[in-house]
Amino acid sequence: MRTPSNQLSLLTPKRMSEILFQSNALTTAQYEMTALQKNIFYTVQSQLGADDLPGKEYLVRVRDIMSVTNTKNPYEDLRKATENMMQKIMTIAVPNGFIQVAPFSSVQYNTNEGTIAICIDSKLRPYLFNLENRITIFGYNEAMNIPGKYSKRLYEMLSQWKSMGLMKGTIVNLRAALKLEDKYPDWDNLKRRVLEPAVAEVNKHSDLFVKFYPERENRRIVLLKWTIKQKETHIITPTPSELEQKLISEFKLRPDQAKFVIENYEIVFIHRKLHEIVVKNASRRIQSMGAYTAKVFNVI
99 in a structural domain: yes
Q: What is the pLDDT of residue 36?
A: 95
One domain, residues 33 and 54: yes
One domain, residues 22 and 110: yes
DSSP 234-299: --SS--HHHHHHHHHHTT---HHHHHHHHHHS-HHHHHHHHHHHHHHHTTT--S-HHHHHHHHTT-
One domain, residues 166 and 228: yes
One domain, residues 21 and 127: yes
5 in a structural domain: no
One domain, residues 121 and 224: no
One domain, residues 181 and 110: no
One domain, residues 128 and 152: no
- Among candidate residues 92, 107, 135, the one where a domain is terminated: 135
81 in a structural domain: yes
One domain, residues 214 and 251: no
| Per-residue pLDDT in tens (0 to 9) along the chain, 300 residues | 333 333 222 233 334 448 898 999 999 999 999 999 999 999 999 888 767 889 999 999 888 888 877 777 778 888 899 999 998 999 999 999 999 999 999 999 998 888 999 999 999 999 998 787 788 989 999 999 999 999 999 999 999 999 899 999 999 999 999 999 899 999 999 999 999 999 999 999 999 999 999 999 988 999 999 999 988 766 666 667 778 888 998 899 999 999 999 999 887 788 778 877 876 776 677 889 999 999 999 998
4 in a structural domain: no
| Containing structural domain, residue 272 | 240-296
One domain, residues 128 and 222: no
Q: Long-range contact list for 132-136, CB < 8 A, 24+ apart?
A: 132/3, 132/266, 132/269, 133/266, 133/268, 134/23, 134/24, 134/25, 135/21, 135/22, 135/23, 135/24, 135/268, 135/272, 136/21, 136/22, 136/23, 136/24, 136/26, 136/27, 136/160
Q: What is the pLDDT of residue 279?
A: 66
Instruction: Give the span between the Cα atoms of 204 and 39, in whole angstroms.
Output: 18
One domain, residues 288 and 225: no
- pTM reported for the whole predicted model: 0.80
141 in a structural domain: no
CATH number of domain containing 175: 1.10.10.10
203 in a structural domain: yes
Instruction: Give the span between the Cα atoms of 148 and 133, in whole angstroms.
Output: 28
Closest to 37 measured CA to CA, from 86, 93, 73, 100: 86
Instruction: Give the span between the Cα atoms of 211 and 228, in whole angstroms.
Output: 7
One domain, residues 289 and 224: no
One domain, residues 155 and 265: no
Q: What is the pLDDT of residue 213?
A: 98
**How far are the Cα atoms of 75, 100, 229, 267, 296 from residue 264, in angstroms, in the given order?**
48, 36, 27, 9, 13
232 in a structural domain: yes
Tally of domains in the chain: 3
Q: What is the pLDDT of residue 98?
A: 96
7 in a structural domain: no
